[in-house]
Structure 1
Amino acid sequence: MAKQKKVTVEADATTRAILEHWDHIKPNDRIAHLVRDLARGFTRSLQTRLADHGVSFGHWIFLRAMWHKDGVTQRDLAVQVGLTEPTTHTAITKMVELGYVSRRRKAGNLKKQYIFLTKEGRELENKLVPLAQDVNKVALEGIDDETQKIVRNSLLTMIHNLAVDEALSLADGKKIPSTRSLGIRS
């Protein structure tokens, strides 16, 4: 196992709480909590870098997906990034205002609107992807290649296992409720 580099830095309350939890309170807490805090750390680290370019993390998610597959419907984009259609609609509307994407209809299909990157949206890829690569580099510092391979394979296995579990639950008629519906008392 790679040795952790201990560095003393001035951290905000959220970061201090996370570090306190893992260093002292519950260092052997569930993997789900560990992964959640790890994901939060990745997100916050990338957010600080994206802010230098005036791009929100929410827009990054959609841009990243569209750099891989452009010209998709709003519904397809929502599915691709794992967010709801209303959330996607709000983000895309703002991204149109910012000049990152445009909405267009394809010939022969006047019903559906497709989302396309603009020149500016496409050019952001060369500026922003290195920021994400930098975050990964920071996160993996001090972890040897073999351990990285084990971690990657383990995470991919967990993703697969949870996707199968979700599919089985949905096949049994269970649904993933919206946060809004759970907040309503009967």
Structure 2
Amino acid sequence: MKKNKFDETRNILRHWQEDVPNDRLAHLVRDAGRAYTRALQLRLAKHGVPFGHWTFLRILWETDGLTQRELSDRAGVMEPTTFAAMKTMEALGYIERRQLPDNRKNMYVYLTSAGRALKKKLVPLAEETNQVSIQGLNPSDIQTTRRVLFAILSNLAQDESD
């Protein structure tokens, strides 16, 4: 049987509706995040951009000229993963890597004009994903959700620093 491209998210939803409707909030948040990622991956794939590249592009659109280590830290991935992605993104013409004359130790990553131009094409895909996810929701519920998720994030950051 051929798998439908939407089976993964439907299976997650079915699992929550039928198997574990009252499971831990952490699991629900993780699965909602997986569904967001999957929805964006499907959109990005139509433009030949892997989700991993999207992650780095988003960071560089905001702060160009970071070291590969800084990119790894901000993306939450291991340095070898960043190195491999940077090699591919450089070959695609999205970024260039260079050392600064006064710092030959670090490799800095800069967007090319092609990498910067992707923002106009890809950001609307993320915005569409977000719009799809909130269809039919009351604006006050969306604000409450944002406030609650921010509070959860804040609590967990505090717990990590204790």
Q: Which residue of structure 1 lines up, in the alignment, with residue 51 of structure 2? A: 57
- Tell me, yes or no, if structure 1 residue 74 matches structure 2 residue 53: no
Give the structure-2-normalised TM-score. 0.92
SS at match of 1:143: coil
Report the more deviating stretch, 61-70 or 106-115: 106-115
SS at match of 2:97: strand
Deviations 1:131-183 (A, max 9, x none): 00000000011111111111001111111111222233xxxxxxxxxxxxxxx
Greater radius of gyration (CA): 1
Q: Which residue of the other structure, out of 92, 98, 108, is the alignment partner of 2:92?
A: 98
Give the structure-1-normalised TM-score. 0.81
Shift of 1:55: 0.2
Q: Which residue of structure 2 lines up, in the alignment, with residue 182 of structure 1? A: none
Q: Which residue of the other structure, out of 120, 125, 145, is the alignment partner of 1:126?
A: 120
Q: Which residue of the other structure, out of 143, 158, 161, is the alignment partner of 1:164?
A: 158
Q: Which residue of structure 1 lines up, in the alignment, with residue 16 of structure 2? A: 22
Deviations 1:96-154 (A, max 9, x none): 11111110112321221100001111000000000000000000111111111110011
Q: Which residue of structure 1 lines up, in the alignment, with residue 109 of structure 2? A: 115
Which residues of structure 2 form unaligned runs of 5+?
A: none
The sequence identity of aligned pairs, in percent, is 48
Q: Which residue of structure 2 lines up, in the alignment, with residue 45 of structure 1? A: 39
C-alpha RMSD of the superposition: 1.4
Which residues of structure 1 form unaligned runs of 5+?
A: 1-9, 169-186
Greater relative contact order (Cα 8 A, min sep 6): structure 1 or 2?
Answer: 1
